[in-house]
Chains A and B, each alone.
Chain A
Amino acid sequence: MQSPFNEIDPGARDSNSLIAEFREATKRYGDVLAADALSFGIRRGEFLSFLGPSGCGKTTALRMLAGFEVPTSGIVLLDGQRVNEVPAYRRPVNMVFQHYALFPHLSVAENIAYGLLQRRPRPDRADVARKVDRALEMVRLPGFGPRRIWEMSGGQQQRVALARAIVNEPKLLLLDEPLAALDRKLRREMQIELQTLQRQLGITFVLVTHDQEEALSMSDRICIMRGGKIVQSGSPNALYDEPISRYVADFVGKSNFIEGVFSHGPDGTGRILTPSGQLFEGRVSQPLAPNAKASLSIRPEQIELTHVSRGGAEQVTVINRIFLGEHTEYLVRHAALGDLLVLVARQAEASEGGFAPGDTAFIGWAKSTALILVQD
């Protein structure tokens, strides 16, 4: 597979625009390759997310940036400087830990002041107090300074952890699943707060998450990881519309996959021959060899669900209907293709009329919206 680094943005190679960079960075734990020759740049001021399933190496990548892990081979650069062996306490980087790691013997204010007080020469007390107060205001906890850590709720502790990091005005802020322990509503609020803060402060944020919604809604750019490698990186839109493989399409948003054998079609299009003998056309964005196993990916919102067959439609049976407000999600069953997900906008449903489980219906999609992807 070609390096995602090359194609997404040639500008990313200009090392001046990069706050941090991995060059063939590899981290091995015994037999496990936690980071497999990562080559990747992080741009100044961007909100970047590492997205991937558990154990794919997200935390490892972050810990190499923070200075807790030394790469087995390869280079980590911060601000153009090689920092492989630079210990964490000498890096202008701060991290928000997954479980906060707040100091239980210190008050909220003392926790936040901790980073400032490590500086030499020691900063002015009044100055520290002012910065702590401002940080508390920023995370919307004004007046909480004298509190003890155990007197704070989970969400409040999370914000203290955030304040403790941003008060140092790091060049790079690393966040390791900082919202994982929060309930859905608080999480949504914190996501918005994080985004606002990032814009206000102009600090580069690197967020680790395995929640694709979180990554999609917050990031300027997302790196999809798998087995210690970055499979693809790009803007949320680019990843959603132009995934380079079935793995990415599956991880970013929902998609329907029709599996089969690939063959070339006219004008850069391609065809998928399913085991049941049906032929489907679709776009091809990545080079594919004839007779390779491939999948046709169609997003649920791109499928049209109708009561009567229009040209080239497939007959299905409606299995389930979930009302989601603006959309209705249908699960439909096709005799040969299996179950498919269809998302119908409210307006479309209003004009076409609703469907009930058990109904016979027809599905169809524009050929240009179907994407043929390597099966990996």
Chain B
Amino acid sequence: MTIRHHISDDLLISYAAGSLAEGWSIAVATHLALCPACRRRLTVAEAVGGELLDTMEDEASVDQSWASVRSRLQQPETAAARQSSVGHSGGLPEPLRSYVGGDFDTLKWRPLGRGAYQIPIKTGDRETMVRLLRIPAGKPVPEHSHGGRELTLVLAGSFHDGTGLFARGDLEDADASLTHQPVATPEADCICLAVTDAPLQFRSWIMRAIQPLLGI
């Protein structure tokens, strides 16, 4: 498998820092499961975090803390040796599989119209909308206007979006300025994870009323 579309530096650094919202992080972590090259980049980003941690000031005395921690130390259990994996099963990778609660053959798809299906995925953050999409072979991705950032990770099949081909493991990072019309390639249905900025919530009914006029 050759992945051509990778995680951008700013996403990777936010993920390494632990400040990236859960929704975006699902796409990033699932790409990492499929991409050894980005895992090496993550190692560098985490080393930067370690180096910055190491250069923090350390004025406080830790004698008291040491006494407290010393008394709490126990003999840890030896970690059970885990079986190493064979890899490349081609199924839904973790952490995504746990979020949707199954693999390709057990997914409960909901119709989205025009032959497309989706599975909404719940997260603890309020800033993103996360779902698994299944686009029929040869068909365009439905309802595709978005006002903010959108991450699309291909898990099966592939799509074309005018700029290039996206296949399993490829991550498309689109912002509001990019107008694109992804179309699934004709060989097979395309299954991808789509993470977008959550739709804006307007409190006032006036804003809700004019929202369609503003096109947002």
A binds B: no
Enumerate chain B interface residues (CB-CB to A < 8 A). Answer: none
Residue ranges of A at the interface with B (Cβ–Cβ < 8 Å): none
